[in-house]
Every structure is written in structure tokens, then in C-alpha cells.
Structure 1
């Protein structure tokens, strides 16, 4: 659970707040979501959105500790690139891939900003539970489109917006906020100190931003994989939520 309050959004303040969190707390408190998991109860092994990546050039947006890049490297991608807002996460990723006998090119920068990533270069750009941190969704999608070759693939996952609207009270799920509310808010995970800044965007906001940026959607996944829920206690609160409504969504889009 989280403690949160609505705020007015200032881009540089968001950068500072979120990068500070990931530099000082990061994966030590918020469990990293990495491939083959797209998020809670959705996997690449079931969805097969990437397919064969042998010989492909790949860029990860919000690379975190590097484990998703490791996943792609072990599947024989030809080039690995990672961008992250946190210097500490980049350093962790470097160390991790080196220990795995892999190499990558690293960029520490907000995803919204120009940062010398080559254009018309990559076969795949992907983001595992990171794209929602952007302060400029359309601008970020346009940059990602510029990085991709024609017909290049963009795959990203994030927390499903309906998940953020629902709470459980007395074994009953009910809405505690409007699905249409995209206000920015500060959030403090109650299991650690620190603050993050987020906005819960509607699915249509993501879809329309993709269309405006020159993408066509090839697939969207929001179904919970029952095989995974069966591995957990059926009385677990999160499992009960996942059986009733989506908690993660994944979109695969192609650059026109």
C-alpha cells in the first residue's frame, strides 16, 4: 500500500525526486520487474512478443539493474543499449552484465530528453515497468520511434490503470479514485522512506500517444496468466486482485 497526495507537476522536480529515489533506495525496496516477467502474472515465455532476437539491436528504456538486458543478451541479441535516469542503477547494470560476460552501451539520462542515442538504428526498443515514469508521454514515444528502424518493434509494460483505482474492503473490491484522473501525485511506499512522483494514465492515453508518434499496435496483453497465480496462495490479496481484473498491461507496437 502507498500513502499519496496530489501535486502540481514540475518536470525538473520530478526528475530530481525520482532519480534520487532510485539512486538511494531503488531495487532494495521496490522489487525489480525484469524479463521474462512483464509485470505481475504476465510473462514473455507465454506471450512470445519478442520472438527470436538473434542478431538484433536492442535498446531498453529504464534499464534498471540490467537483468532484462541480460535476458536479451543470452538470447543472442547483437547489441545491447540501456538508458536510465539513475546513475546508481546504471552502475549496477554495468557490474551485472560484466559478471554475466555481456557488454552494453549505457546512457544516464531522462527518457524524455535528447541523449545522443542513434536514430533509425534499433530493431527493438522495449521498457519493462518504466515507461510510466515519463513526464512527457508523446514526446518519449516520438523519440523512441526515431530510434527504431522502419518496421522496428516497441514493446512496453506498466501497471494497469484500473489496478490503481481499486481497493479491497471487507472482501469486496471498490473504486477509490476515478479512472479518468491523470493528476500527478507523490507517493511514499509505506514499507520504506522516500518519495516517488507518478501519474496514472488511461489506456487510451497510451494508445493515442502511440498513434500520434507513428506506431501501429500489433498486440495488447492484459490477461492474468492462471499458471502463475496457481503457484501462489489463493488467499494472497494481490492474487485475488489479479483474478478479478488486470494488474499489468503490455503493448507491442510497430513503427510505420
Structure 2
């Protein structure tokens, strides 16, 4: 675990938190990605215990509450995001437990407890993928489900300039890199799809589904025009990677 990277990322997220309030929560998995309403990766979650890794403003947990989850648990690096989630979920019918913590550490979460753990566009912020996936495996009951989405590893490696797609960095290059997408320096991680899959397998997960499809409405096409995620680029390079796995 890289404490300097975590400190930098926490500072960055505290400064940018309001910009991401309610951004791409479930049933969305990410920009121009298929919806949970169509994928049904979680199935019926009535009376199940769910944990959100990188819960942000709590809108994905709100979605789980609307689908009758019994317990809502979440952790996030940003104190502002946790406070926003606490306010959003104050009147929901489910039991709510929220922790301000990096995903690389267990802030007091029970082990062998959760039916579902998920992470929506957050896992790529980890400074230690092995430790994070080891923690998630411990949180889950045997047979429990882990679903995560993140920016597709090819997306940031390919540029679309005047309609021509060109590699700006090798797909094989992995590890931390500087991210300044919203004006506050932060550290992201780049991993190949095989790294995500092999690390899941090494920590006792069975991979059940890998999704790289692109889906968007006419509204999405217009909303993302000339932005980081554009439909023109998405026609050739997926925006989002989604993986469903299960604890053996």
C-alpha cells in the first residue's frame, strides 16, 4: 500500500467530490456501458447484505435499497463523499454502515458476511490490487458475488485524433500513473484485463462473466460528444470493463 499515493488521492477527491455527486451510479456501470437492468448480474437482492467499495455519494447504495437489500455497507477514501452518502441514505429502509477508509485497509468490516460486494468505477484507484481483492474475498460469504466496473484498459491507451485511432502508450505497461483529469493531481493504476482476471483467480474467485459491450442512448451520444468518452471512439474501443466473479 502506497501511503503517499493515498494521501494525494484523498486530497484530490476531497477537492473534487461535489463534481462526482451522483455520477454514473447503478444501474449504470460507467459511461456508455450496458445497464444492470439489462445485464442482471446481481439477480434478486431482496434481504441480501451488500458492500460498496468506493461508494462515493451513496447513489449505488440507494439503488440497492430500492431493490430491497437488507443491509447497506460502504467505504470510500473521501470524507466528503461519505458525508454525502450518509445524508442521501438517512431515511432509507435498510440498515446503513459507512466507513471513511482506503479500500486497501479493513476499517472494521465483518468477514465471511456479505452476499454481494461491488465496485462501480472505483477499483482502478487502488494502490494495491492484491490487498484490495484479498480484502474483498474475506468480506464475502462462500459463494458470494463480486462485481466491478472500471474504465476499459485500452481506452486511455488509444487516442482519437481526426477520426484516426492511434496508440499513445503500450497496453502492456502497467502500474501507477499521474492523473490530472479534473485539475487536482492524483495517482491512478493501469492494469491489463488479464491482470484483473488472474489476480481475481489467485485470490479465490471464479470468473463468471466479462463484459466489454458499448451501449448508449441518443442522449448519451450527444452528452459525451467531444469529451473523454465519445461515441465515435466507443464505436472502436470499449469505454468500460465489467467483470462478475464468485468466491469459491
TM over 0.5: yes
Please give the alpha-carbon distance, in whole angstroms, between the structure 2 residues aligned to 1:29 and 1:83.
Answer: 16
User: Which residue number corresponds to residue 28 of structure 2?
Assistant: 37
Normalising by structure 2, report the TM-score.
Answer: 0.93
Superposed structure 1 runs of 4+ greater than 3 Å apart: 99-103
User: Which residue number corresponds to residue 17 of structure 2?
Assistant: 26
The 3-state SS of whatever aligns with 1:220 is strand
- Which of the numbers 202, 215, 236 marks the counterpart of 2:225? 236
Q: Residues 97 and 103 of structure 1 are in contact (CA less than 8 Å); yes or no, is this contact kept in structure 2?
A: no
- Which of the numbers 96, 106, 115 marks the counterpart of 1:104? 96
Q: How many pairs align?
A: 243
Q: How far apart are 1:32 and its partner, in Å?
A: 2.1
Q: Residues 234 and 240 of structure 1 are in contact (CA less than 8 Å); yes or no, is this contact kept in structure 2?
A: no
Please give the alpha-carbon distance, in whole angstroms, between the structure 2 residues aligned to 1:120 and 1:245.
Answer: 37
The 3-state SS of whatever aligns with 1:38 is coil
User: Which residue number corresponds to residue 4 of structure 1?
Assistant: none
The 3-state SS of whatever aligns with 2:141 is strand
User: Which residue number corresponds to residue 62 of structure 1?
Assistant: 54
Quick one: structure 1 residues 235 and 80, their matched pair in 2 at CA, closer, same or farther if it must change by over 3 Å?
closer
Unpaired segments of 5 or more residues in structure 1?
A: 1-9
Q: How far apart are 1:167 and its partner, in Å?
A: 0.5
User: Which residue number corresponds to residue 83 of structure 2?
Assistant: 91
Normalising by structure 1, report the TM-score.
Answer: 0.90
User: Which residue number corresponds to residue 215 of structure 1?
Assistant: 205
Please give the alpha-carbon distance, in whole angstroms, between the structure 2 residues aligned to 1:85 and 1:175.
Answer: 32
Please give the alpha-carbon distance, in whole angstroms, between the structure 2 residues aligned to 1:251 and 1:178.
Answer: 23
Please give the alpha-carbon distance, in whole angstroms, between the structure 2 residues aligned to 1:215 and 1:83.
Answer: 21
Q: Residues 229 and 239 of structure 1 are in contact (CA less than 8 Å); yes or no, is this contact kept in structure 2?
A: no
The 3-state SS of whatever aligns with 2:42 is coil
The alignment yields a C-alpha RMSD, in angstroms, of 1.8
The 3-state SS of whatever aligns with 1:155 is strand
User: Which residue number corresponds to residue 74 of structure 1?
Assistant: 66
User: Which residue number corresponds to residue 205 of structure 1?
Assistant: 195
